[in-house]
Amino acid sequence: MTRFKPKRLLLLLLVPMLVFSMLTVSASAEEPDSSIEGIESTDELPETETEEETHTHTDADDDTHSSESDGSGAVNEQVKAAGAATCTHSMTVTNWITNCRWEQYCVYCGAFISSGIVHGPYTHGNWQYYSTTKHMRSYTCIFGDSETYYQTEDHTVTKQYSPFNATQHSVSRYCSACNSFIGSPTYEDHIDSNGDGICDGCGYEMAYFSVTVPASLMLTVSEWGEVYAANSAAIVNNSSAAVAVTDIIVSSENGWALVPYSRNMASDKVDAGLIGFAVNGASTTQNASSESLLLPGTWTIDRASSLPLTYDAVVSATSRVIRSEQVLTVVFVLEWA
């Protein structure tokens, strides 16, 4: 935009300079200093021309001289040509043909010296997808006389994550400059490095399984063989969705033997080491070292809920006091409800 001002100035300068060049076509080569006088006296133009012709005539050959009478235009050309033969083109004028193209002429003989094109600044089109590595845009001189050029540049790639399914998200390479996705998306597992249940990449709310079961189920056996269970045990569901107890596997430990919970221990020997177990209505039914309990109904635990465990045991009589002893291992199998 700012280029308009200097150009106007140039054109204004050009007018006197062109007049000046006409006035001093041939004389200047020998006497450059006298050209300044020539500018001042525009009125003397015809006389000066006469002088020029005379002046030229002395330098030029006879053919040039004879053609002077043909016409003033032709004479001028001849004069210029004759002058160019000896002109050192010591001063030039630049003429802007368009806003961007310039031509340079000798001030003294009018000879064409050189030309060129200066484009810019440019107006640019929007970046558009060009290849998997580059985008492209067009640009043209703001002065409007250039052709349309094209340039390419590397994409500025960022990764964009989108949820794909419960376990994976898609990873797309995206260039914001040309507003394009590059190539095909790839797929990878959700990432949750901070354990908040939200995928670090795509923000997907991941299903996370977190269930707390009691570390132990305490039974207290009195010296008369009565069994007392703690009543605070519970399975707590901290998962992102409901879970369910699908199996309970009870195994006897440390020389104890599993028996049906319904067994009447009255006739068993003291220190026989028999134990029957029941929890929430699921009870041992066999004489075995391990048993998978048949669960009555469904044992669903909603999200952020807990399942209280009501348990009990029958134990054969002992001759010693049982203080702290592991008699059973109870495994709760939990799955998504």
204 in contact with Zn ion (CB under 5 A): yes
- Minimum distance of Zn ion from residue 141's CB (angstroms): 3
Neighbours of 208 (CB within 10 A): 14
How many other CB atoms are found less than 10 A from the CB of residue 188? 14
Asked if 261 touches Zn ion (CB under 5 A), the answer is: no
Q: Is 120 left (phi over 0), alpha (psi -120 to 50) or beta?
A: left
Q: How far is the C-alpha of 173 from the C-alpha of 135, rounded, in Å?
A: 14
Site membership for Zn ion, residue 201 (CB under 5 A) = yes
Give the nearer residue to Zn ion in terms of CB position, either 24 or 316: 24
Residue 180 to residue 164: CA distance in whole angstroms: 20
Q: Which x/- pattern, by CB under 5 A, does the window 142-181 give for Zn ion? A: -x--x--------x-------------x-----x-xx---
C-alpha–C-alpha distance, residues 283 and 326, integer Å:
19
State the DSSP code for 142: T
Site membership for Zn ion, residue 87 (CB under 5 A): yes
Q: Choose between 182 and 314: whose C-beta lies nearer to Zn ion.
A: 182
Nearer of residues 22 and 272 to Zn ion, judged by Cβ: 22
Question: Any contact of residue 20 with Zn ion (CB under 5 A)?
Answer: no
82 touches Zn ion (CB under 5 A): no
Place of tokens 């000879």: 111
Cα-based distances in Å from 265 to 99, 224, 258: 113, 12, 12
Q: Please report, as residue ranges, which positions from 92 to 131 form the binding site for Zn ion (by CB under 5 A).
A: 100, 106, 108-109, 111, 119
Spatial CB neighbours of 159, under 8 Å, sequence gap ≥ 6: 171, 172, 173, 174
Tell me, by CB under 5 A, how many residues bind Zn ion.
22
Interaction between residue 288 and Zn ion (CB under 5 A): no
Shortest distance in whole angstroms from residue 114 CB to Zn ion: 13
Q: Which residues bind Zn ion (CB under 5 A)?
A: 87, 89, 100, 106, 108-109, 111, 119, 135, 141, 143, 146, 155, 169, 175, 177-178, 190, 199, 201-202, 204
